[in-house]
Structure 1
Amino acid sequence: MRYKKILICIALVLISVLGVELFSNRDIIFLNKSEKGIIELQPTLEENENQDEVVKTTIKFDVGNKYVSKFEFDYKYNDLLNSNITIGYVNGFGNVEEKSITDSNSVLLNKNIINVNERVQYIKVEVPNVDSSNIQIKKGKILNRFEMKFSRMFITFSIVFVLEMLLLFRNYFLSHLENAFVLVALLMGICMLLCVPNIKIGWDEETHFNRAYKLAILPSQEKVADEINGFFSTNTLYNYPLAQPSSGDENEEIGTILNDAYDNGKKKNEVKGWTSSVYTPGYVFQALGIKLAKLCGLSFTGVVFCGRLFSLLSYVVLLYFAIKILPIGKEILFFISAMPTSVLIAITFNYDVVVYGCIALGIALILREYLSKKEVVNEKFLLLAILIMTFGCLPKAVYAPLILLPIMIPNKRFKSKKKAYCVKIASGLAFTLLMSTFVLPALLGKAQNDTRGGAVDSVAQLKSILTHPITYTGVLLEHILKTFPSFVFGEAQYRLMAHLQTARFEYLIPAMAAFVILVSPKAYDKTNYNELVVKDRIWFIVLIGLSVALVWTSLYMAYTVPGVEMINGVQGRYYKPVLPLFYIFLSSFHIHLNIGEDKYRLILTLLCLLVLAGTCLNLFNLYCL
């Protein structure tokens, strides 16, 4: 019987994958033979305007009422090509309508490939701010090909596989929510990883890739071509994040060009292996992925993929143990960690994965000991939690107040006062150590300023705060309150995708947040754990408040011009490490559903799957189709 179920599952996966691929290529399958394949089009210069210093070149391609799956035109131009493409297509009434596509092409490319999927009469390519003498558009092509996309097949496989696992092994995944998290986050994370472009997609990813790559090649050094060197710097067009590929063909072409430059390009830029001081812990796993890829002789895109993959793996492992250990609010941590922004962070180069994962794991260990009905806490687990959180906070010391969480544990819960003092002193020392990495550089005038913020000066800004504390407090509170809804429940926290298109589910995600905060799947587990009391919640909000204040203050010092009543640079994702504790603070665990824990968790898991699968499909349509 078991083997029969397994065979049925395999058959369903294969049928689903094949069915989706055939359905996606239905227009190509039923095309006339004369319209299939590659059809070349010759360009004609329609107009070349130069009025009032505004230059515009327009090229027209006559298609002649043919179906166009994809349209490609080759060109010669030595800069980013920004073009407006107008497609004259035949609508359902048989009339010609126009639709426009604004496209920004990477400097790496010499061809533009867009998805059309319409029966077309003509296509116009308008290139603003470029005279026809400076650009050469060679020819156009209609690409009507049957294409089986691996990324789409993997998305289909993942969705069907997750549903099958939840159906067949419901108890294994829903009684142990950490298993469901691994199932959903790992598979959907890989799907997202397969769909994103080969160039910069994450926040400040060139800086983080620079650090991870140099850590991976330590202690050696190597030389790279200009195209690859662009991945280490913001001062380049090779890695320009606003020129994302507009089709899977463009993404593959960029990958081919980068791989060729990595292997055969003119290697004149030296890259030396080095560590990045307190930021180093945040890149250990990504550097390991890069190191492994280089040892295996993979291409440059393979190196980038492996670095991102190891970031995802470290994220899943850290959150697996955090959800497993956390005595309350497992559903809260699952939800926060399985949203689009969280998974995007997990698959890009950054130190946020280690920061968030280590803090979540540390909080889980501390709460398990504190809320346990055991008379005596295990000080070894508390010290381990402090060590893990310290490791995680090194790249971002603004979360140091969270390390003071063990202070709320009464001395009588320890085997002896000596052990109680040992844990609490360790907590205080870790907090002091981390704060010294944040405050001392500013006091000594050695703080690093973010030049993107303009004429910033951390020392002058700190002086401004200390001499006008009431004014700054007002500015701080105003910004915290103004951004609170989006940063805690909305788009800035859960739907922003850095340089990619914002995720959808504008109303569903906040509703899910309210659901996990207000509704509990069962009565509080009074057998093994104590309930949170008022003083616990007060301590939570004090530590959360201090961390949030430090987040805003750090950006006020490093990213904002001195003396202004505004704070620049703060993003919703910076709240993520404090968010699980804040949601637990808000939750009462007194509103219960009578449907049982498994059904509650099944609903939550399916909703997270829906959101992530929808996000992956949208990314596929944008960058892989």
Structure 2
Amino acid sequence: MLKQRVAKIIYGIVAFVIFFTIFLAMLWSPREHVQLTGQKDDIEKVLEISDISNSISCSVAEDGEISINGDDAYIIFNVDSMEAKTIVVQMNKTIDKNIDAQLFLDYGRGMNENDSVRGTCFAGESSIGFKVPSGKFKQIRLDIDDDYSFKCIEIHENDAITIRSGNTISYKILMVCFLLSGFVVFLIIFVDYKTNYLLCFYKKIIDNKKIIIIECGSIGGSIVVGWLVEHIICGENYNYAVHAFISGIILIICLTIIHRKILDDKPEIIFSKLIFISAMVMLISAPIGHIGWDLDSHFRYALQSSSFEDVGISEAELDVIINNNDFLEIPNNIDENNEKIQLLDGKDTSIVSYIDSDIRISSLLSGVVIAVFRLFGVSFFLTYKCGQIPIIIVYTLCCYYAMRRLHSGKMILATIAMFPTLLFISSNYSYDTWVVGFIFLGMAYFVGNCQEEGKISYKDAIIMVCSFAIAIIPKQIYVAVLLIPFFMPKKKMQSKKKYYAICSGAFAIMLVDLLVRTFSETSKGGDVRGGLGVDPVGQIKYILTNPFEYAHTLLDFLKDYLSLGNTNGYMNNFAYLGVGAKFIAIIILIILIFTIVTDKKKCDVNIYSKVFYGYSIVMFAGTAALVATSLYIAYTQVGELSIAGCQPRYLIPIIYPLASVIGFNGIRLKINQKVYNAMVLGIMQIIVLYCIYNFLIVRML
């Protein structure tokens, strides 16, 4: 008893320190502000209000007051062909909030992103300084999207002067962190008092002490042996990608041997470890750069979730979210990769801009890691990489608990969860695996309850419905999965009224959220990546006035989008690193069909109604049509006869809900379950390792 009390006290202290650190990291940053200015005696030219040659989407008053009245506002100055190293924009007065600015210089190539620099005028300041690329320019364009009071532009011939200002921590922040941490620890102690979960957790560790020690030894041994093999292959030039790959293979073999005896009854244990190790090897081995879909947006979400207030970001972080070439380009070998890491780490020393705080549930854990690493001054490279680990952990846990809830069909889940594309997505900043993972969990609770005798508990009903609801928070377009719980056989409900109330409440909330977001998105100008002709409102009018023409366009698109020939796009696609050979997708498809038909038991016989079978098919096709239509509205130019931006990966979240039930009663093979599970997991793991080598390791040699 005394040991348990001491253990709880230690646990409480550790928890307090952890949460205090987290709250401090999200309320305060030790980074310095950097302000650039020019030397007073080297001004080549001064541009004033009278020198403005053109203004777009803004009005310019004689006293310098500039009011924004449209999108992409800017003013242009013509200058004689001249060179400069520093340009400083001066305001008539200090500003009361941070203002971002972008300066374009025409070096004879027109205005373009590559010939532009960015800067921020921080609250309380009255100037913005820019380091200017070398070369002669003939025009200057200043982009600022907030109202401001313009005074002049100073063009300096010498390098900028850097002024740094520290960010001191206040007693108020420390007190808030202390109170919040204390409150969280109090809640932990209160829950433990009611449930005694800490004792259960402690006993579980003690009961599995031997296996934990063996696994830790396997991890350490794999790292050491992996380093020795890497040293033999690469010589004196250390290659962390090769080290991670070799260590991962050795660790997978070790853990498979350790857990081989429970592969028939509890395959989720080795399965979850395969998922985690494979994704971590991808994360570590991947080159630094824009390798995944929408990395700029998703990294921005993580940064916005790393602070309760406006987020001060470094130049390296800014490079990621604006797709600057210093981050955008993907290295072709380990030497280029190491040079890029050094470049980005060198640009991560201070705040150069601010973005609004916007905490998203799917990005919060990544944001916490980024905040803590920022607090301790960890390099950009390690912060960027480690910020992706929570994404892998959440996906792994969802897969583990989903498989554990099933009585059969576990290898159907394993096959889909181990799609190389899905593991690659989980190792990058993205909320796609959040969506997929929680849909796995919700569907597994639905299927698992249908497979067993007795009534569904309210606990299981809440977990199932909440999993579906949490899954679609980032992407409400998959709202159809929230209707799945309504197809639970009535004989399994303890109370139809309470059960349907649980299901209806979640569905109503998410449907309203979907409608609000849809209205918000369509009222905007659409996705600029689709081109100048993108107009959501105009596109909706086109669909409503030409329903048959659009129906023909949609069906024509879905014919190819849902075809078997498109499977490579969501099974063996590594985004900007390339698309793999089709034979890999064919093998995965064969395994998926095989498991759908054969991974069945007696508990699967006649457990679903014909209506639910029909709904599963309609939901799959209907959601695909809904996804395509949303991108036709938001991404495609008005009246186009094709649909732009609809990527194959958008089908992944709805594959398992269909695959888990479409096999009907199935075919039961007379084969040992351990052999069956080992065969499926083994083939899928070999495919994953092949893809890692082909897409990542080869590029990092």
Name the TM-score, length of structure 2 as normaliser.
0.65
The equivalent residue for 2:545 is 467
Q: Does 1:253 align with 2:339?
A: yes
- How far, CA to CA, are the matches of 1:18 and 1:393 in structure 2? 41
Deviations 1:428-455 (A, max 9, x none): 414522431344336xx52461111112
Deviations 1:106-144 (A, max 9, x none): xxxxxxxxxxxxxxxxxxxxxxxxxxxxxxxxxxxxxxx
1:500 to 553, 577, 580: 577
Pairing 1:254-273 to 2, within 5 Å after superposition: 254-263=340-349, 267=351, 269-273=352-356
Deviation at 1:151, TM superposition (A): 2.8
1:451 to 524, 528, 531: 528
1:230 to 313, 319, 338: 319
8 Å Cα contact 1:411-1:420 kept in structure 2 = no
2:271 to 181, 184, 190: 181
Q: Which moved more, 1:587-596 or 1:191-200?
A: 587-596
- How far, CA to CA, are the matches of 1:422 and 1:273 in structure 2? 37
CA 1:411 to 1:602, structure 2 compared with 1: closer, same or farther past 3 Å? closer
Q: Does 1:275 align with 2:351?
A: no
CA 1:288 to 1:328, structure 2 compared with 1: closer, same or farther past 3 Å? farther
Structure 1: 5+ residue stretches without partners: 26-144
2:376 to 267, 287, 296: 296
Q: Kindly provide the amino acid, as one letter, of the partner of residue 24 in structure 1.
A: I
The equivalent residue for 1:392 is 471
- How far, CA to CA, are the matches of 2:634 and 2:641 in structure 1? 15
2:389 to 306, 309, 315: 309
Q: Kindly provide the amino acid, as one letter, of the partner of residue 310 in structure 1.
A: P
Q: Does 1:324 align with 2:401?
A: no
The equivalent residue for 1:382 is 461
CA 1:509 to 1:601, structure 2 compared with 1: closer, same or farther past 3 Å? farther
Q: Does 1:540 align with 2:616?
A: yes
Q: Kindly provide the amino acid, as one letter, of the partner of residue 275 in structure 1.
A: D
Name the TM-score, length of structure 1 as normaliser.
0.72
- How far, CA to CA, are the matches of 2:597 and 2:252 in structure 1? 22
CA 1:299 to 1:547, structure 2 compared with 1: closer, same or farther past 3 Å? same
The equivalent residue for 1:351 is 431
- How far, CA to CA, are the matches of 2:232 and 2:281 in structure 1? 20
The equivalent residue for 1:601 is 677
Pairing 1:382-461 to 2, within 5 Å after superposition: 382-441=461-520, 445-447=522-524, 449-454=526-531, 455-461=533-539
8 Å Cα contact 2:230-2:246 kept in structure 1 = no
Deviation at 1:343, TM superposition (A): 1.0
1:511 to 587, 612, 618: 587
CA 1:229 to 1:581, structure 2 compared with 1: closer, same or farther past 3 Å? same
8 Å Cα contact 2:442-2:467 kept in structure 1 = yes
CA 1:624 to 1:170, structure 2 compared with 1: closer, same or farther past 3 Å? same
Deviation at 1:16, TM superposition (A): 5.7
- How far, CA to CA, are the matches of 1:550 and 1:163 in structure 2? 43
CA 1:437 to 1:178, structure 2 compared with 1: closer, same or farther past 3 Å? farther
Deviation at 1:11, TM superposition (A): 11
Q: Kindly provide the amino acid, as one letter, of the partner of residue 353 in structure 2.
A: E
1:507 aligned counterpart, secondary structure: helix
CA 1:162 to 1:270, structure 2 compared with 1: closer, same or farther past 3 Å? same
The equivalent residue for 1:244 is 330
The equivalent residue for 2:233 is 24
Deviation at 1:410, TM superposition (A): 4.1
Q: Which moved more, 1:565-574 or 1:6-15?
A: 6-15
CA 1:352 to 1:255, structure 2 compared with 1: closer, same or farther past 3 Å? same
Deviation at 1:589, TM superposition (A): 5.0
2:645 to 563, 569, 578: 569
1:282 aligned counterpart, secondary structure: coil
Deviation at 1:396, TM superposition (A): 0.8
CA 1:301 to 1:435, structure 2 compared with 1: closer, same or farther past 3 Å? same
Q: Which moved more, 1:8-17 or 1:584-593?
A: 8-17
8 Å Cα contact 1:293-1:303 kept in structure 2 = yes
8 Å Cα contact 1:231-1:239 kept in structure 2 = yes
- How far, CA to CA, are the matches of 2:621 and 2:465 in structure 1? 19
8 Å Cα contact 2:291-2:577 kept in structure 1 = yes
Deviation at 1:602, TM superposition (A): 0.6
CA 1:479 to 1:620, structure 2 compared with 1: closer, same or farther past 3 Å? closer
Q: Kindly provide the amino acid, as one letter, of the partner of residue 547 in structure 1.
A: T
Deviations 1:19-50 (A, max 9, x none): 6336524xxxxxxxxxxxxxxxxxxxxxxxxx
Q: How many residues align?
A: 490
Deviation at 1:249, TM superposition (A): 1.3
Q: Kindly provide the amino acid, as one letter, of the partner of residue 607 in structure 1.
A: I
Deviations 1:219-263 (A, max 9, x none): 1432523x43111114x32222xx311111111111111111112
2:561 aligned counterpart, secondary structure: helix
- How far, CA to CA, are the matches of 2:312 and 2:682 in structure 1? 47
Deviations 1:489-544 (A, max 9, x none): x210111111113345x324322322232346977433598633433211211222
8 Å Cα contact 2:263-2:678 kept in structure 1 = no
Q: Kindly provide the amino acid, as one letter, of the partner of residue 206 in structure 1.
A: D
Deviation at 1:585, TM superposition (A): 4.0
- How far, CA to CA, are the matches of 1:168 and 1:610 in structure 2? 19
- How far, CA to CA, are the matches of 1:11 and 1:415 in structure 2? 50
- How far, CA to CA, are the matches of 1:283 and 1:263 in structure 2? 24
CA 1:378 to 1:448, structure 2 compared with 1: closer, same or farther past 3 Å? farther
Q: Kindly provide the amino acid, as one letter, of the partner of residue 21 in structure 1.
A: E
The equivalent residue for 1:610 is 686
Deviation at 1:13, TM superposition (A): 5.0
Structure 2: 5+ residue stretches without partners: 1-209
- How far, CA to CA, are the matches of 1:521 and 1:342 in structure 2? 23
Q: Which moved more, 1:450-459 or 1:511-520?
A: 511-520
1:499 aligned counterpart, secondary structure: helix
CA 1:174 to 1:346, structure 2 compared with 1: closer, same or farther past 3 Å? farther
Q: Kindly provide the amino acid, as one letter, of the partner of residue 560 in structure 1.
A: T
8 Å Cα contact 1:323-1:330 kept in structure 2 = yes
- How far, CA to CA, are the matches of 1:486 and 1:296 in structure 2? 49
- How far, CA to CA, are the matches of 1:305 and 1:181 in structure 2? 24
- How far, CA to CA, are the matches of 2:230 and 2:590 in structure 1? 37
Deviations 1:304-362 (A, max 9, x none): 01111121111111221122223443212211111221111101111112111122211
The equivalent residue for 1:369 is 449
- How far, CA to CA, are the matches of 1:481 and 1:229 in structure 2? 41
2:577 aligned counterpart, secondary structure: coil
The equivalent residue for 1:48 is none
1:556 to 616, 632, 654: 632
- How far, CA to CA, are the matches of 1:554 and 1:158 in structure 2? 40
- How far, CA to CA, are the matches of 1:523 and 1:348 in structure 2? 31
CA 1:475 to 1:173, structure 2 compared with 1: closer, same or farther past 3 Å? same
2:269 aligned counterpart, secondary structure: helix
8 Å Cα contact 1:214-1:271 kept in structure 2 = no
Q: Kindly provide the amino acid, as one letter, of the partner of residue 525 in structure 1.
A: K
1:216 aligned counterpart, secondary structure: coil
- How far, CA to CA, are the matches of 1:544 and 1:484 in structure 2? 10
8 Å Cα contact 1:366-1:406 kept in structure 2 = yes
